[in-house]
Structure 1
């Protein structure tokens, strides 16, 4: 039975058009496209692993290697069983860092300008035999069906058609995130077609050749050598090497990496794929012995690779033959489309001058350049595959070509282990190891292949050269290439040290490490400035689009000026460009145009903020001491967050890194809005208040009046500094205490104390006023009796003098009784110390003892800054204590002297002194040494509170010569 070439070509094009129609519908209809996120659909899309090797070459491999063919399935099962420790961390890394190819992955970790190109070149060279395998399988299967058309013409036609459809599938437009829901659905559909074709032809072969399972058992019983032939290769070994090759191919083949990580729309779908994809491969592989035995029993006389087509021809069934052909075409076309898309991305980013942006090309559309670059690479890669097919037409085994590609990607295993588990691995070790692995791969596998093809007849046999004939070829090749690769990778890494970028990437790649990237803060002041800087390389349109895309990803407003927001924006732009251009070029562009501060390093507060952010946003698997430290951190953080005192932490540049709940409630600025902002960007009055406080040399401000929408508040501000190990200031912490209620209570207590003193002064005031009133009355009585104008004028002057004396006494009392609102920076005034003390002494004399003398020393010319009324109350309270403790006819001495920026004032009495047991409690409210009913115990506490609010100190002690001494320190006013 033969079919026409036109029919085969029409059916093939129609099938590819159907696949494209599915992809097009999924891309245009969101409801259909959402199916790509389904776990079952994603699992089927991974069926791109099953190429024409699985459909055709598996039978040939089974004929040569027996049940060893199952290792290709078992190795994949082993890789997917390690999903939690292998595939999921890789998926996390590729999604976070926007890594869309194998070259991106290794270039991100091993930071060198050679890493990406080397991986890309090797993947291209390693996959060419696999692409040639697909072309060979389709061309030869079509040749079997047509029996006339030269295979090379079929191969050329197939290659050209696939190149067209590959462009339609993945290079119609630039999608920087490389998520093609249509491609996922189309590949899932072709996996179903492959599976159905295999199962249908196996069932037909079972019943058409053997008449059912009973007939198969009878034939096997009559031909025991058929079963022994499949077991014999297993007994000879080689299974371990095959398992390793399949394990690596499961996720390191470019097409597998592309579908597993780049096209993964829903990360949770990997949970389903971990078991569903191995089950799919099992269904594909189980019918192979039946097909092989059916071909042997039927005596088809063709290559075992094409027994499925031979059985269809034996039954003279064109529809069955076309089903088999479509199944093989589906397997080959899916592999070639996805592989060329993955390789085209690597080629455009690492092997092409198209993305090297020169001065004269800055205005060019980057997206258009990349799009055409990928299209050219797709055609070029398929062209290379066709050329390689032309060189190797004499190679019989399809499986041999596939295993050569498996062995190529296995050379990435040492580097991958270092990427995930060894932070100290370096680019030198990776490049040395990979270079040695490439040489070993070429020496052990490519050279014999070329020799068998007659291309290089003079090449020696590697196994014979190294006297390793006892090993099977695949074990020998794997041991030599992978062994040398691993040894040089370890040695090269141990002999070199990772640079800062590699160390940073190593922390990002290791599963239990923080993924913080970048350092310092960007110099750009706003989003527009960043956009303008990027436009110098990307062009205005591309820069605007990339910046806006990053803003949308982060949910940031375009008008943000927060240094924290700009840093996050810079990181997101780099990651997005990494998905578009690769991590190396993305880092170069961002470092060149979005430069960081000159320090180029994390500050202590910045590092703490990053660590806090990582621990809060990512559920890290902590255990042991790390878990205990994290629990302690959370406990302390909760205390700080719920502290009734407002706490803000800031960097040296004024960026807010911490803002607790009490401060958010006081300022009406939410924590999430404050953190990341610069302190100057806060609303009034906080921006001006906190900026002035941070720039002030003072570390404390007491009872500051602040007008807020909720009313006037009294605030105490305190500042401390964060220092690194070298003592350098890394940041600052500001404490804001709302003392409004306490200030009101203290003001009421102080006022009560003044009223009590006024009551005590009342009798003395009456006596003091009585004397001048008596004089005024006497003068007034003599005034009518005088006729001399000069005498009348003298009497009037005396009356006025007595009136002024009365007024001075009254004004002193009014001043003392004035209920001042308390000291604050806005109510302080410059006060002459001698006048203040003189007024306090005058008030004391109103009701004080007449025998007591007051002396002053050193007060002239000294000034303090404070509240006149409250400081007057301090001196009255202290002088009252001295008066009550002094014996008759004694003296109270008041002296002052300068001490730096302060004035020290001493008040000494000649009394018995203060009991030692009372010294520690002297300034406690309601503590008094007087008998009950003779003292409230509030005078000294009120004085202590007032002095403290003025930034001074008040202490009490006993003098060696006898008596008590109160030492008062107040800030000096030099204005």
Structure 2
């Protein structure tokens, strides 16, 4: 069966026209466009990952590498499994700061004029082999269908067609910040076509070649080498390198980044895609062994890459062959269109003079028009370069090899991405040094051997032989060398250099735990919106300046007539972010800093500005009336409440500048409010500077009973903090509450001491009884001692006397230890063995308690079971819990005590077999003086004291009822050093 080239080309163009029609309707119809926001559609749109490599090359990769082909799917699955820690933070960052490409992302974090161009150039060079792969796959699949070698004219025609459709899809108008619902819907549709085509041909092959699953099993039994050949490469290694390459490609390939973040319409869709997209890839990958075995069984004398089309030809089905060809064209065209659009944005912003925006541009010059034509030019240029690369690499046989080279290129961004998300100490010098070394390693280990294979630079020796690494497969060698040197230089140079203020600001914006970057200090010099628009028009032109200012006003909900300097500051920040989506973050920052300057070159902080406003309102007799007077009265009322609160209150900006400091905090710290307000937090005197800085940087929202040494003595403080959020949920400041609980802590210590004395009283009678038995034994032995003449017998009696004496000493020592236990306020925390404390508590409880109870322990001998705390107070906690269990237990009952270490903390459970706790009493069980015992049988202090001590240790104490009856107390404490 053969088909004409004309028919194949016509079918391909018709299919692309259908895709464009879907996109066109979605862009014009809001009802259809809303489908693009569906999580299912978004998940399918990520199927742009599955290119002609997946459609064709996967079978060839399977023929060479066996089941290692699955690593390309498993690496993606691993990346999407890390959505909460990887993809979602990246989505937040790109949406909040309008970062529409990889170059934008890294240029925003590593603030340098070189960062964006270097990333853009490297991505262009790294993706060219992948674009060439798509052209190669389409032309070679056409060759299989037509039984002739297609001329370069077919490859050229396909490239020109794709360039035209790429312009229609994403370069008809300039709107990089807006989502292309039509593009998302079209790519989702082509993913569905790919899936139908690959599953369809696999199903036909299964039944037409083998007669069904049973026939396939019979063929495999008759050809055991077919299965063994697929397992052999897995045992030889290389899977880890493939997994890492696929992991990086899952979100760092330009097309994946574009669909995941730039075209993400609804951020919530990422939750569905986290599992739906890997499931889609699984469906695409599972049929590959069936297609490979079918091609082998049919005896196809063609490249295994094209077994899918070959099977259709073997069946002499033109319809099936065209379906497979359309699937391949769909995979190749989607990749080329989306990749070209992503690279065109990077090329326009970072590799062309469009970004210079000179002041002497003609008055009629239109920024948007220039950007639009620059995008179109880059679309044509990128596809032209891909076609040229295809022309020089036709001799390369493996499609997978070209794809993996691109995967290895984007993997060089992994160290920089890790620093971007998790290390705000990383610097632009470290990033550029590491990436530069990674690029050289990538070229040395992968590109040069490829050029050698293609005959462009023949005779080059294998780099593995140079470095005596011939035992490694090429991909493991390339990844280890390039990525290892990259990461090493990135870390080393970052540690040797210091980030500048802009990098520190970007680091706070990127790293988890700080949702927003510190904003530029000061207020705009412009007095109103019109002045800001006029200033921007000098660079952007009047039309674009008006559009950008009005867009920012609409997004913030601000009126055009506003003259509020705080509103103008917010407007300035929004304009910068919007321009970032249009021109990139570096150029956007340059334009805003040049034309929308801040007062005193940005030296006035927000705290100083607020203080200045407060001083003007307090000292000047402003003629306020009506609503303004009422608002001022309300402001004064709230301000008076804040300053008269008995709690210390401090308010700070996101960058750590103090904007509020009430009277109570002034009295506690000795720092007057006028002195503290407007100052950075790190300018406070000791110990407040260190205390508040450590608390701000801590992930904890509360610190309880912190001991602080001051000149007038030690104080016990409770600290609380809360975030101040703007209308968009971004943090713009913090509130800190400081409560002096020194007197209350002393009272609680006295109550705990009283409870201890009461316990000592209960133990005294038990001690007397316990001592009586060994004393009787000693007296009997003393009476027999004068009657003995045998030295050995005398020595044995003496040993017995000593044993009974040690028994008495142990009993008395236990009571003395408990009686002299340190108070919680002065206790020294250390690593303790909870097993020792629990056994000591059981012994003391038995002294004054009932003898009919059984104490059963479990888990106390587990290795590494250490707690961090003070011995005396914790011993009191265990005694109180055991005493409570003893009093609730019936005759002959068992009290169980278990312990385990989990997630760095130690959990201790105390269970009794009593009647349990009334539901109404559970919520009040730890209130002082609340008791369920009859009058005169309980003080109601035991459990509250235990609860207070546990809180001091940073632990928790909860009570519940066991399903089988009785009460359960669960105690958790911070774990100590397990070694």
TM-score, normalised with respect to structure 2: 0.64
**Within 5 Å, which residues of 2 pair with 1:7-406?**
7-148=7-148, 150-361=150-361, 363=363, 364-406=365-407
| Structure 1 partner of 2:752 | none
**Within 5 Å, which residues of 2 pair with 1:535-574?**
535-574=537-576
Which residue of the other structure, out of 595, 598, 608, is the alignment partner of 1:593? 595
Q: Distance in 2 between matches of 1:155 and 1:476?
A: 33
1:789-830 Cα offsets, whole Å, 9 max, x none, are xxxxxxxxxxxxxxxxxxxxxxxxxxxxxxxxxxxxxxxxxx
Asked if the contact 1:174–1:367 (Cα under 8 Å) also holds between the matched residues in 2, the reply is: yes
1:87-121 Cα offsets, whole Å, 9 max, x none, are 00000000000000000000000000000000000
Q: CA deviation at 1:603?
A: 2.5
Q: Distance in 2 between matches of 1:442 and 1:671?
A: 67
| Structure 1 partner of 2:912 | none
Q: Distance in 1 between matches of 2:148 and 2:568?
A: 67
1:335-378 Cα offsets, whole Å, 9 max, x none, are 00000000000000000012321233253100000000000000
Q: CA deviation at 1:147?
A: 2.0
**Within 5 Å, which residues of 2 pair with 1:497-576?**
497-513=498-514, 514-576=516-578
Secondary structure in structure 2 of the residue aligned to 1:361: coil
Q: CA deviation at 1:605?
A: 2.1
Note closer, same or farther for the CA distance 1:727–1:193 as it changes in structure 2 (3 Å cut).
closer
| Structure 2 partner of 1:482 | 483
Asked if the contact 1:176–1:576 (Cα under 8 Å) also holds between the matched residues in 2, the reply is: no
| Structure 2 partner of 1:667 | 630
RMSD: 2.4
Q: Distance in 1 between matches of 2:249 and 2:147?
A: 35
Secondary structure in structure 2 of the residue aligned to 1:558: coil
Q: Distance in 1 between matches of 2:224 and 2:503?
A: 59
Secondary structure in structure 2 of the residue aligned to 1:88: helix
Asked if the contact 1:39–1:272 (Cα under 8 Å) also holds between the matched residues in 2, the reply is: yes
**Within 5 Å, which residues of 2 pair with 1:699-848?**
722-724=677-679
Q: Distance in 2 between matches of 1:186 and 1:223?
A: 43
Q: Distance in 2 between matches of 1:474 and 1:426?
A: 29
**Within 5 Å, which residues of 2 pair with 1:624-643?**
none
Q: Distance in 1 between matches of 2:244 and 2:608?
A: 44
Secondary structure in structure 2 of the residue aligned to 1:360: coil
1:740-768 Cα offsets, whole Å, 9 max, x none, are xxxxxxxxxxxxxxxxxxxxxxxxxxxxx
Asked if the contact 1:362–1:538 (Cα under 8 Å) also holds between the matched residues in 2, the reply is: no
Q: CA deviation at 1:720?
A: 5.7
Note closer, same or farther for the CA distance 1:491–1:12 as it changes in structure 2 (3 Å cut).
same
Q: Distance in 2 between matches of 1:655 and 1:564?
A: 19
Q: Distance in 2 between matches of 1:601 and 1:109?
A: 23
| Structure 2 partner of 1:472 | 473
| Structure 1 partner of 2:827 | none
Whether 1:582 and 2:584 are equivalent positions in the alignment is yes
Whether 1:427 and 2:453 are equivalent positions in the alignment is no
Secondary structure in structure 2 of the residue aligned to 1:457: coil
1:131-179 Cα offsets, whole Å, 9 max, x none, are 0000000010011111235242221110000000000000000113141
| Structure 2 partner of 1:855 | none
Q: Distance in 1 between matches of 2:221 and 2:637?
A: 81
Q: Distance in 2 between matches of 1:454 and 1:672?
A: 79
Note closer, same or farther for the CA distance 1:111–1:723 as it changes in structure 2 (3 Å cut).
closer
Q: CA deviation at 1:318?
A: 0.3
| Structure 1 partner of 2:417 | 416
Asked if the contact 2:607–2:678 (Cα under 8 Å) also holds between the matched residues in 1, the reply is: no
| Structure 1 partner of 2:851 | none
Q: Distance in 1 between matches of 2:536 and 2:499?
A: 29
Q: Distance in 1 between matches of 2:49 and 2:636?
A: 48
Q: CA deviation at 1:404?
A: 0.2
Q: CA deviation at 1:597?
A: 1.4
Note closer, same or farther for the CA distance 1:168–1:599 as it changes in structure 2 (3 Å cut).
closer
Asked if the contact 1:606–1:651 (Cα under 8 Å) also holds between the matched residues in 2, the reply is: no
Secondary structure in structure 1 of the residue aligned to 2:598: coil
Note closer, same or farther for the CA distance 1:300–1:495 as it changes in structure 2 (3 Å cut).
same
5+ long unaligned stretches in structure 1: 610-647, 657-662, 676-717, 729-975
Note closer, same or farther for the CA distance 1:172–1:223 as it changes in structure 2 (3 Å cut).
same
Note closer, same or farther for the CA distance 1:727–1:39 as it changes in structure 2 (3 Å cut).
closer
1:279-323 Cα offsets, whole Å, 9 max, x none, are 000000000000000000000010000000000000100000000
Whether 1:457 and 2:491 are equivalent positions in the alignment is no
TM-score, normalised with respect to structure 1: 0.64
Secondary structure in structure 1 of the residue aligned to 2:207: helix
Asked if the contact 2:608–2:678 (Cα under 8 Å) also holds between the matched residues in 1, the reply is: no
Q: Distance in 2 between matches of 1:357 and 1:558?
A: 26
Q: Distance in 2 between matches of 1:606 and 1:563?
A: 14
1:862-903 Cα offsets, whole Å, 9 max, x none, are xxxxxxxxxxxxxxxxxxxxxxxxxxxxxxxxxxxxxxxxxx
Between structure 1 and structure 2, the one with the greater Rg is 1
Q: Distance in 2 between matches of 1:339 and 1:723?
A: 49
5+ long unaligned stretches in structure 2: 620-625, 639-671, 686-979
Asked if the contact 2:197–2:324 (Cα under 8 Å) also holds between the matched residues in 1, the reply is: yes
